[in-house]
Amino acid sequence: MIARHPADLVLPNARVPVSMIARPDRFGGARDQDCLHGDLLIRNGCAECLVPACPTGGSPWMVMPKFTECHVHLDKCYTISRMSGVSGGLQAAMAAQAADRAHWTRSDIRSRAMRGLEELVSSGCGSVRSHVDWGRDDSPNAPSLAWSVLGELAQDCSDRVTLQLAPLTDAEQIADPAVADAIAREIASNGGAFGVFVFDQADRRKGIRHAFEAADRHGLALDFHVDEGLDGELDGLEMIADLAIEIGFQGPVLCGHACHLMNLDPEALKSLTERLLHSNIAVASLPATNLFLQGRTAGTPDRRGMTRIHE
């Protein structure tokens, strides 16, 4: 029997996925397929347990923790309508976005980013990480206008959602260790994560190493855009895994896209996924983006931009 407190809140007729509960055997409720069913007791803002459900006659509600969206670009959202005739793959998309960026203003960025954030909150997100293009035309290593605007937005909306920022730096840019460290200091000042774009840059290995070293010094998580293409020569994810092991980095590492994994034969794939597991590197698949941008060639595509989710 659970003793009720006057301030307790009870959500009747709730179903909670078993996979979301740390100790299902101690949470109460009746088993209902892959959920536990009952009246959910909320105490001090936390889900305490399930108690036997009082008959209501209606369908049960599904109750889950708020979602985390780990990869968005709030500085770029809602700009596609301003671009005409965009076709091709990643490079064409980047060129179109760069052309649009020339017209960004503080009010434009904030309006679009707020709209995107409102959409995320209404969809149940409680935590969001947004990548933000880094640098200005007159100072490529300095924080961008969007970085300032989204930093203000994160503070203004902090009572509704946790918005973390990650600058989208270039691996070649941070091949200079002084630049990497200066950017890391700025990120650390607002609780962000160190974001790096890794593709086929000549100095990408140096940039990745300096990102790990700077993140380690400043206590930052790392978030790589890596191998966003189907070119057989892309090797950024492998470099990241090997350097994480070599350096012994203990912080969180997330790698987005990783489309190149589709090219690997079973033996090479097994070797790389084992290194990712050993170094605690997580991979984020971005199907809406990469199914659109990758494989846009003449004829029937034999591969699209999905990474190896199941593997």
Q: Are residues 87 and 41 in the same domain?
A: no
The region that residue 299 occupies, defined by phi over 0 for left and psi between -120 and 50 for alpha, beta otherwise, is left
pLDDT tens digits, one per residue of 99-123: 999 889 999 999 999 999 999 999 9
| Angular region, 227: left φ>0, alpha ψ -120 to 50, beta rest | left
Give the number of domains in the chain.
Answer: 2
Both 55 and 197 in one domain: the answer is: no
* Residue 125 and residue 16 share a domain: no
* 47 and 176 assigned to the same domain: no
Residue identified by tokens 């998580």 is 221
Residue 57 shares a structural domain with residue 136: no
User: Is there a contact between 67 and 39 (Cβ–Cβ < 8 Å)?
Assistant: no
- The C-alpha atoms of residue 294 and residue 95 are separated, in whole angstroms, by 16
Residue 298 resides in a domain: no
CATH number at residue 237: 3.20.20.140
Walk along the chain (311 residues) in steps of 10 and give the mean pLDDT of each run.
73 94 94 95 91 84 94 96 79 88 95 98 97 92 96 97 98 97 96 98 98 98 96 95 97 97 94 96 93 80 84 87
Q: What is the pTM of this model?
A: 0.89
84, 53: one domain? no
